[in-house]
Structure 1
Amino acid sequence: MDSAVIWYAGQATGIVSLTLFSAVMVLGISVRRQVRIPGMPRLAAVALHRSISLLAVVFLAAHILTAVVDSYVNISPLAAVVPFTSAYDPLWVGLGAVALDLIVAVTVTSLLRARLGRRTWRAVHWLAYACWPVAVVHGVTMGSGTGHPMSGWPLWLTIGGIAAVLIALVPRVTTGRRALTPADVLAGVRR
């Protein structure tokens, strides 16, 4: 396979996985606060959260695979899993490895939720709040994979994801009230 194709696939799968994980965060916050998504029962929202989570993990796996096989950079399979061991940009690749390790913990415990119990699952699931910003920093700093930070439409897409997560998260953290839905935000803008 052509090296340019692998490089573009790595960039694309990284952007898609970060976008999907942003959507997962918004859905997870909304489901937890029992926010109604218009036209969707709560159980459907939970199923959507799980489905998008698994899809994001698939894109993340493709992103990691392409980063490891890409000849443009030298990222070993070990460096993809063990933080800060990469010969190429050890700090920023290391943050990606930290995010991967955290998402693996969240994913595995979610798949084993019935066997672990709610308390254990929930304690580990809180790692998502650490994983997502680490992944965002990794994505923004690794950017185009050419040593330059993210720019252009991928940066704006990432900023949109950050804004969506903050809009959902701020009320939960500051007041304990339900998270805002997109409809709440639009209603506020129209007033």
Structure 2
Amino acid sequence: MNELLTVWNFIRLSGLLAYLLLTISVIGGIVSSWSILKKKKGDLLALHQMSGWAGFLSILFHLMFIWQDNYVDYTLSEILLPFADNEFPFASGIGVIAFYLFFLVLFSSDFMLKRLGKARWKWIHISVFPAWILMTLHGILIGTDSSETWVRLLYAASISLVLLLLTARLLTSRNKRHETGHQKKTMMKTIPLEEK
């Protein structure tokens, strides 16, 4: 068998691919609401959604390849239950939790949005950030390639970019709320007393 086409390499590849795709999805979601990118909103949302599902499918392949690995004999319960792994309980456990959180976000967005309503859906959708953080920690702690320079650069660039974009979005949202509140106060001052 070709040395590149081993289960071990597919485990590594699917894990890194899932990380990359889900990071792209998170970034797409963050920037899709920016007013300066209003004309590209449809494209950004499509990228956000497609990379999210492709990343989730990569996780499924990652789990399937781990289960089929002959070198480390994982049981289904070790793969699907948080902290059930005997060798790396914490690192594996946070990866499993990330998997379920990503599933919850994707499923609720594509199949439950109308039932949940926008307010509840938003609260569920925000759990993508803890999922992404747990996935990042999982990769750093247990990933075989985490000691490779290019993988370290991938994690460092991803973390920096997500933090930068998220900070910019939070500051923009805060400024919008402040401006809206200021406009309401100004309007109230200009309305004659008899109309108030």
Give the TM bin, normalised by the shorter chain.
Answer: 0.7 to 0.9
- The residue type equivalent to 1:72 in the other structure is Y
**Hey, what does 2:65 align to over in structure 1?**
66
Partner residue in 2 for 1:47: 46
SS at match of 2:144: coil
* Compared CA separation, residues 13 and 176, structure 1 to 2 (3 A): same
Higher helix fraction: Structure 1 or Structure 2? 2
Q: CA deviation at 1:93?
A: 0.6
Counterpart of 1:159 in structure 2: which amino acid? A
SS of alignment partner, residue 47 of structure 1? helix
The C-alpha deviation readout for 1:99-155, integer Å capped at 9, x for no partner, is 11111111111122133221221111110010001000000111217xxx5432122
- Stretch moving more, 48-57 or 167-176: 167-176
Amino acid at match of 1:62: F
Structure of larger gyration radius: 2
Mapped pair 1:156 → 2:153: yes
Distance 2:67 2:36 in 1: 40
**Matched residues, number:** 173
8 Å Cα contact 1:9-1:63 kept in structure 2:
yes
Inter-partner Cα distance in structure 2 for 1:18 and 1:35: 27
Root-mean-square deviation (Å): 2.3
Residue 14 of structure 1: how far off its partner (Å): 0.5
After superposition, the Cα gap between the structure-2 partners of 1:126 and 1:55, relative to the gap in structure 1 and judged at 3 Å, is same
* Paired position in structure 1 for 2:134: 134
Per-residue deviation, 1:174:
4.3
What does the per-residue CA deviation read over 1:153-191, in whole Å, with 9 as the maximum and x for residues that have no partner?
A: 12211211112111211122345369xxxxxxxxxxxxx
Question: 1:84–1:94: 8 Å Cα contact kept in structure 2?
Answer: yes
After superposition, residues 8-19 of structure 1 pair within 5 angstroms as 8-19=9-20
After the TM superposition, which residues 1-191 of structure 1 pair with which residues of structure 2 at under 5 Å, given as runs? 5-36=6-37, 41-112=40-111, 113-144=113-144, 149-174=146-171, 176=173
Retained in 1: the 8 A contact 2:33–2:41? no
**Contact 1:75–1:87 (CA<8 Å) still a contact in 2?**
no
- Does the aligned pair in 2 maintain the 1:10–1:67 contact within 8 Å? yes
Contact kept, 8 Å, 1:68 with 1:74, in 2: the verdict is: yes
TM-score by length of 1: 0.81
What's the offset of the Cα at 1:90? 0.9
* Amino acid paired to 1:89: F
Task: Letter of the 1:15 partner, please give it.
Answer: L
Seq. identity, %: 23
List runs of 5+ in structure 1 lacking aligned partners. Answer: 179-191
- TM normalised by structure 2 equals 0.79
Partner of 1:187: none
* In 2: Cα distance, 1:137 partner to 1:101 partner: 15
Residue-by-residue CA offset, 1:68-101 (whole Å, 9 max, x unaligned): 2112223322222211011221111111111111
Is the CA contact (8 Å cut-off) linking 1:73 and 1:88 kept in structure 2? no
Equivalent pair of 1:74/1:88 in contact (CA under 8 Å) = no
